[in-house]
Amino acid sequence: MSRVVPNKLALTRAEIEGRAYRMISFFHSHPSEIQEEGWTVFEEGENKFIVDKLTLSVMAECQCEFLSRESDSGSEEPAIVSVKMDLITEEIKK
């Protein structure tokens, strides 16, 4: 069973040491809504994202696919507008 959850920070970037990172949150519509310690770096291949820890805990139990807009298809780092999640079953974990 798949679920698509919107990213409330689809158009928000976090600048860290001169580099802008895409942000993902299912719960917060502005980064200032939680303290700095509530965020973590999530790596997928060569991509790095800033994700709030609550969102990451939800994503941890799923196989996730980041979804972007068709209009961003030519971008190297398209905005992540939502996340498609499929629950990881015990058979997949083995």
DSSP state of 58: H
Which residues are within 8 A (CB) of 74 and not within 5 positions of it... i.e. 6 or more apart? none
How many domains would you assign to the chain? 1
Q: pLDDT tens digits, residue range 8-41?
A: 999 999 998 999 999 999 999 999 999 999 999 9
- Averaged pLDDT, 74-84: 90
What is the C-alpha separation between 94 and 74, in angstroms, rounded?
Answer: 36
CA–CA gap between residue 17 and residue 69 (Å, rounded): 28
Distance CA 18, CA 30 (A): 20
Question: Which pLDDT band holds residue 90 (cuts at 50, 70, 90)?
Answer: low
Full residue range of the structural domain in which residue 89 is found = 2-93
Percent of all residues in the chain with a pLDDT value above 70, rounded to a whole number: 95
What's the pTM value of the predicted model, to 2 decimals?
0.86
**Which one, of 68, 36, 40, 66, lies nearest residue 54 by Cα?**
40
